[in-house]
């Protein structure tokens, strides 16, 4: 079993977290393999995926240590516990549900609490969140992250929503710890067509963009 520090290292290097909202449970394994082939080994299976808990359990059993499987869109304590019991190695919530921190940490699992404003972000940090998920980030952009971190440089921020290959560098240079990437990576069209080669190509493009940004 990986430690929290090991999981955090995997989350932030290279820092691309695939946010998966699969249309069918059966898609999770092939899409995960396609992502991994492109270098994206961190996969957040959202609770909006049909039978998400079962999908997390199967992914952990079949992929083992090759991937870091987490759970997203967690809104309550029972879901948090069930996902961790199924094998989720990190927890993500789009809202500032501070009571989930103790549940995750007692299981040795890092957690991202959702926030939108500076006050919410600081509250998430003070509650013990390992990361602050800025959501939705599409209307805010990298400049907002940079402005937010000016007075609050201790925040480890993971924006989700609006992240694409073109702005990966801008978000990372603004000080983000990692990036949550949803539809611009695992698109509905790719899922409908089961176009796993295209998913691998996109994953590789995101990883290369992140590595280049960090190197510069």
Cα 89 from Cα 189, distance rounded (Å): 28
Residues 17, 181 contacting (CB under 8 angstroms): yes
Strand partners, 113: 132
Question: Could you give the residue ranges of the DSSP H alpha helices within the chain?
Answer: 4-12, 28-37, 52-63, 77-85, 100-106, 118-126, 141-149, 168-173, 188-193, 196-215
CA dist 201 and 216 (Å) reads 23
Token pair belonging to 70: 């987490």
CA dist 190 and 181 (Å) reads 14
CA distances from 45 to 51, 151, 155 (A): 10, 33, 24
Is-contact 27 194, C-beta < 8 A?
yes
Site of tokens 């820092």 = 15
The two tokens of residue 49 are 């995926």
Q: Is 81 helix (H, G, I), strand (E, B) or coil?
A: helix
Residues serving a catalytic function are 44, 133
């Amino acid at each position: 079993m990986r430690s929290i520090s090991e999981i955090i290292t995997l989350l932030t290097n290279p820092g691309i977290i695939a946010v998966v909202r699969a249309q069918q449970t059966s898609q999770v394994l092939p899409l995960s393999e396609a992502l991994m082939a492109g270098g994206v080994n961190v996969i957040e299976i959202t609770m909006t995926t049909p039978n998400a808990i079962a999908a997390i359990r199967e992914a952990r059993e079949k992929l083992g240590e090759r991937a870091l499987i987490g759970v997203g869109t967690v809104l309550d304590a029972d879901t948090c516990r069930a996902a961790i019991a199924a094998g989720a190695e990190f927890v993500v919530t789009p809202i500032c549900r501070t009571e989930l921190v103790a549940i995750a940490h007692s299981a040795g699992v890092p957690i991202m609490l959702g926030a939108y404003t500076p006050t919410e972000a600081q509250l998430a940090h003070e509650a013990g969140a390992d990361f602050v998920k800025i959501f939705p980030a599409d209307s805010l952009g990298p400049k907002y992250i940079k402005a937010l971190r000016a007075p609050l440089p201790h925040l480890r921020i993971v924006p989700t929503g609006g992240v694409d290959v073109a702005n990966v560098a801008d978000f990372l240079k603004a000080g983000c710890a990692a990036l949550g990437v949803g539809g611009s990576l695992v698109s509905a069209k790719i899922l409908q067509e089961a176009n796993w080669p295209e998913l691998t190509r996109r994953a590789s493009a995101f990883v290369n963009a992140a590595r280049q940004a960090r190197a510069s």
